[in-house]
Structure 1
Amino acid sequence: MAEEQPPSPPRREIVTGVPRGVNRRPPAHTPARSEISEQTTLGATYVRALMRSQLRAGLGALGALALLVGTLPVVFSLPRSASGPLVWVAIGLVVYPVMWLIARWYVTRAERNEADFTGLVMDPAEAPISLHRPG
């Protein structure tokens, strides 16, 4: 009598693909980047949009600064007895910290505008990791 062999386990199938973590080769060009480098109408629109957003941020910061500095003559026009210490408080404790906040807002806004533009132009595989929160 022939001895029966135990049934063999089912054959395993191995599926292969691109390993995780390996960067895929980026496309030869990104449409937005080529539009800008070829100086087409669409590329000019992209650059104009960046310049417009940067101008808007700059004018906003300038307007806030003008409003801040424009109120100083009102403080200085108060009667001498009441405005003596108030002038120093206004200049030393109010104006400079507010100017710093305006400058900080402008720099943050300008960096965010540039990051948005870079995200539009670059391929997602090449895009640098953003340290800014979205919004």
Structure 2
Amino acid sequence: MSDPTQPGLPQRVRVTSTRRDATTRGDVRPLTREIDEQSNLGEVFVSGLMAAQLRLAAMVLAFGAVGLGGLPLLFLLVPATRSLDIGRIPLPWLILAVVVYPVALVVARYYVRQSERIEAEFSAVIARREP
């Protein structure tokens, strides 16, 4: 404790409130504003979202190309599949009419769900970064 009678020592000061003239923290910019203004940080987040969507689209496209592109290859390499009939319907027609469409619907549903999941994760990251 300082003694007010000793020279050179500061006097005690009683603090009754917080400093109102202290410098405050700079303006906190919300991440949505960064994205809207296309700043460097916003571009990083948006490019990450776009990359995830592109990976998903490429995976679904590759699955479709291999699945549908493999059918003519199967019919070419295995001649018995070209002439095989199930009932009175040729196997290639049966595969193209009955199997392809339900598989395409399942793949489309998978794509939509995964795309929504990616967007929900992006929104969650944005919401966590907001003040």
Question: Would you say how many aligned residue pairs link Structure 1 and Structure 2?
Answer: 98
Normalised to the residue count of structure 1, the TM-score between the two structures is: 0.62
Cα distance in 2 between the residues matched to 1:29 and 1:57: 34
Kindly report the root-mean-square deviation, in angstroms, between the aligned alpha carbons of the 2 structures. 2.5
Normalised to the residue count of structure 2, the TM-score between the two structures is: 0.64
On the 8 A contact 2:31/2:129 being kept in 1, the answer is no
Corresponding residue for residue 121 of structure 2: 116
Which runs of structure 2 are paired with 1:5-24 in the superposition (5 Å)? none
4+ long deviations beyond 6 Å: none
Corresponding residue for residue 82 of structure 1: 84
Instruction: Write the deviation string for residues 21-73 of structure 1: whole angstroms up to 9, x where unpaired.
Output: xxxxxxx9763212212322111000000000010110011001001111110
Cα distance in 1 between the residues matched to 2:83 and 2:104: 27
Q: Does 1:36 align with 2:39?
A: no
Corresponding residue for residue 71 of structure 2: 72
On the 8 A contact 1:50/1:117 being kept in 2, the answer is yes
Task: Compare CA radii of gyration and give the structure with the larger one.
Answer: 2
Residue 38 of structure 2 aligns to a residue whose secondary structure is: coil
Cα distance in 2 between the residues matched to 1:95 and 1:121: 39
Distance apart, 1:110 and its partner CA: 0.7
Cα distance in 2 between the residues matched to 1:94 and 1:58: 22
Residues 96/29 of structure 1: CA separation in 2 closer, same or farther (3 Å cut)? farther
On the 8 A contact 1:75/1:87 being kept in 2, the answer is no
Distance apart, 1:100 and its partner CA: 1.0
Instruction: Read off the aligned partner of 1:88 and give its amino acid letter.
Output: W
Determine what percentage of the aligned residue pairs are the same residue.
39
* Higher RCO, Cα 8 Å, sep 6+: 1
Corresponding residue for residue 96 of structure 1: 101
